[in-house]
């Protein structure tokens, strides 16, 4: 007899998670609570309610988490300029800790013994969900059906539905993309299918959020992003909430062919995986934020941030959002953002984001010192001689001791 009486399931309403509802009921003889998060995936989430009811679910949670997602997860990550392996803007990775957090909150509210998810045993998401859950509720039980059952394909899932009278309309029977897709306000990802051949060029109609750079307008689009404490708060002078800001930038960026990415990444579980991503708004935000920092951050603070960034990005990618080391890094990053205020002007043109201007009341750019014209004594060029000789001292000593490179 299972000691699990109630399980909270991260439920999308698609085939996989609809099968999981019935599988949990059959296998563990338990009550299932479903949780569906609206984090801007671009599809209606309310239909999940009817699908869950049809499967006998009594407690159904459907939560709009868009503002929380961008404000408390995306924006802090972008203050760090986080990129994984030099390219990936972490669109899927950063959504998982929020879902894990809400799963645990609902488990506490409903008295559930366990949580469950539909992530496979090959991917990163199982790690992200479960590390997050254990960080917030150490004793929680986690049920990962893909690591337990013998259902290994879409065909076996459909057969399971037929055997147990699960309505296929509720299990997601519809014309599908040949790719496995995941979307939220920050990005949409594509994996599987022909993309499993890393030499295969994806067809144009795969992309959902952006036009190709070739088909983008022949006239550039200019925008201005206003920053406060490292976060974008205004677009062309208009104050926007975090979710609205990202949604609007996605539309503007996508219309200009911005944000497409095709990469092979190293998963935490050890394998390489090829994926394609569209992150138009995030691509714009990253470029603008670095431009804002370029005039407001001290040199060594900026360089230290760049040294810390790969570690920070790897923590998010691998699922350690709630770890003490991530929080330590976040505190340092947030401290650096106190003077990252001002306006960045950008030109968007055929897939490119070009910084064409930046200004700030907190700027460290001193025109009197930087000028190529007469600086009226603001900078004494003779000082450079001693500076250079002192920095060359160790090199000169080594050369005098026979260690010259010639």
Asked whether residue 328 is domain-assigned, the answer is no
Q: What is the token pair recorded at 361? A: 């009341």
- CATH number for the domain spanning 20: value is 3.40.50.620
Q: Which residue stretches of 226-271 are H helix?
A: 242-255
Q: What's the rounded Cα separation, in Å, for the pair 362 and 382? A: 29
- Out of 38, 125, 274, 326, the active site residue is 125
> Does residue 360 have an active-site annotation?
no
- Do strands 221-228 and 231-235 pair parallel, antiparallel, or not at all (unpaired)? antiparallel
CA distances from 366 to 183, 310, 359, 361, 370 (A): 43, 30, 12, 12, 6
Question: Which residues does 304 contact at the CB level (< 8 Å), separation at least 6?
Answer: none
My answer on whether 153 and 221 are in the same domain is no
- Out of 49, 63, 71, 180, the active site residue is 180
The residue-averaged pLDDT of 258-262 equals: 98
Ligand-binding site membership of 118 (annotated)? yes
Question: Which residues does 404 contact at the CB level (< 8 Å), separation at least 6?
Answer: 398
My answer on whether 113 and 194 are in the same domain is no
Q: What's the rounded Cα separation, in Å, for the pair 155 and 127? A: 26
Ligand-binding site membership of 124 (annotated)? yes
> Does residue 16 have an active-site annotation?
yes
Asked whether residue 76 is domain-assigned, the answer is no
Q: Tell me which DSSP letter residue 238 carries.
A: E
- Out of 66, 79, 96, 260, the active site residue is 96
Assess whether pLDDT exceeds 50 at residue 37: yes
Asked whether residue 315 is domain-assigned, the answer is no
**Block residue for tokens 């949670």:** 61
My answer on whether 26 and 167 are in the same domain is yes
Ligand-binding site membership of 230 (annotated)? no
My answer on whether 171 and 186 are in the same domain is no
Ligand-binding site membership of 360 (annotated)? no
- Do strands 221-228 and 342-349 pair parallel, antiparallel, or not at all (unpaired)? antiparallel
- Residue 166's pLDDT band (boundaries 50, 70, 90)? confident
Asked whether residue 242 is domain-assigned, the answer is yes
Domain residue limits at 140: 6-69+92-176
Asked whether residue 103 is domain-assigned, the answer is yes
My answer on whether 120 and 253 are in the same domain is no
Ligand-binding site membership of 362 (annotated)? no
pLDDT at 2: 73
The residue-averaged pLDDT of 350-354 equals: 98
My answer on whether 276 and 133 are in the same domain is no
Q: Note the pLDDT tens digit of each residue in 89-148.
A: 999 999 999 999 999 999 999 999 999 999 999 999 999 999 999 999 999 999 999 999
pLDDT at 64: 97
Asked whether residue 54 is domain-assigned, the answer is yes
* Last residue within a domain, chosen from 156, 176, 196: 176
Phi and psi, residue 73, nearest 5°: -125, -55
Q: Is 37 exposed, middle or buried (0-12, 13-18, 19+ CB in 10 A)?
A: buried
Assess whether pLDDT exceeds 60 at residue 175: no
Assess whether pLDDT exceeds 80 at residue 279: yes
Ligand-binding site membership of 11 (annotated)? yes
Q: What's the rounded Cα separation, in Å, for the pair 48 and 61? A: 10
My answer on whether 122 and 232 are in the same domain is no
Of 145, 100, 148, 87, nearest to 313 by C-alpha is 87
* Last residue within a domain, chosen from 120, 153, 176: 176
Q: Note the pLDDT tens digit of each residue in 372-405.
A: 999 999 999 999 999 999 999 999 999 999 998 8
Share of the chain above pLDDT 90, in %: 91
- CATH number for the domain spanning 240: value is 3.90.1260.10
Q: Are the CB atoms for 225 and 181 separated by under 8 Å?
A: no
My answer on whether 129 and 26 are in the same domain is yes
Q: Note the pLDDT tens digit of each residue in 1-25.
A: 479 999 999 999 888 999 999 999 9
Q: Which of 33-42, 73-82, 170-179 has the lowest mean pLDDT?
A: 170-179
Q: What's the rounded Cα separation, in Å, for the pair 107 and 111? A: 6
Q: Note the pLDDT tens digit of each residue in 71-94.
A: 999 999 999 999 999 999 999 999
My answer on whether 26 and 147 are in the same domain is yes
pLDDT at 1: 46
Asked whether residue 194 is domain-assigned, the answer is yes
Q: What's the rounded Cα separation, in Å, for the pair 182 and 261? A: 15
> Does residue 218 have an active-site annotation?
no
Domain count, the chain: 2
Asked whether residue 142 is domain-assigned, the answer is yes
Q: Are the CB atoms for 339 and 362 separated by under 8 Å?
A: yes
> Does residue 180 have an active-site annotation?
yes
What pTM was computed for the model? Answer: 0.95
Ligand-binding site membership of 120 (annotated)? yes
């Amino acid at each position: 007899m299972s000691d699990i009486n109630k399980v909270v399931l991260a439920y999308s309403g698609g085939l996989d998670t609809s099968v999981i509802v019935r599988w949990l009921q059959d296998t563990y003889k338990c009550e299932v609570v479903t949780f569906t998060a609206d984090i801007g995936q671009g599809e209606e989430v309310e239909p999940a309610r009817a699908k869950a009811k049809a499967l006998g679910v009594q407690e159904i949670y459907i939560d709009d988490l868009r503002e929380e997602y961008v404000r408390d997860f995306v924006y802090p990550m972008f203050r760090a300029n986080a990129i994984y392996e030099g390219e990936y803007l972490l669109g899927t990775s950063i959504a998982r800790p929020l879902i894990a957090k809400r799963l645990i909150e609902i488990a506490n509210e409903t008295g559930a013994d366990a949580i469950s998810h539909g992530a496979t045993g090959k991917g990163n998401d199982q790690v992200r969900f479960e590390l997050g859950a254990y960080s917030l509720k150490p004793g929680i039980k986690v049920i990962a059906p893909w690591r337990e059952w013998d259902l290994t394909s879409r065909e076996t899932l459909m057969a399971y539905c037929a055997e147990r009278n699960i309505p296929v309309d509720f299990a997601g029977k519809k014309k599908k993309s040949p790719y496995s897709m995941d979307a939220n306000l920050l990005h949409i990802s594509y994996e599987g299918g022909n993309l499993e051949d890393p030499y295969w060029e994806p067809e144009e109609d795969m992309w959902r959020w952006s036009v190709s750079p070739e088909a983008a307008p022949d006239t550039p689009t200019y925008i201005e992003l206003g920053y406060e404490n490292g976060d974008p708060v205004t677009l062309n002078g208009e104050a926007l909430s975090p979710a609205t800001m990202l949604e609007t930038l996605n539309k503007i960026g996508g219309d200009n062919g911005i944000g497409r990415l095709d990469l092979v990444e190293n998963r935490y579980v050890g394998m390489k995986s090829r994926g394609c991503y569209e992150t138009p708004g995030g691509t714009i935000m990253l470029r603008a934020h670095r431009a804002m920092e370029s005039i407001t951050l001290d040199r060594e603070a900026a360089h230290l941030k760049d040294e810390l960034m790969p570690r920070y990005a790897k923590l998010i990618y691998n699922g350690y959002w709630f770890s003490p080391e991530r929080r330590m890094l976040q505190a340092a990053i947030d401290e650096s953002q106190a003077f990252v205020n001002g306006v960045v002007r950008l030109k968007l043109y055929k897939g490119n984001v070009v910084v064409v201007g930046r200004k700030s009341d907190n700027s460290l750019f001193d025109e009197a010192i930087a000028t190529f014209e007469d600086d009226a004594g603001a900078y004494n060029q003779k000082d450079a001689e001693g500076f250079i000789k002192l920095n060359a001292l160790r090199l000169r000593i080594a050369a005098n001791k026979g260690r010259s490179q010639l």
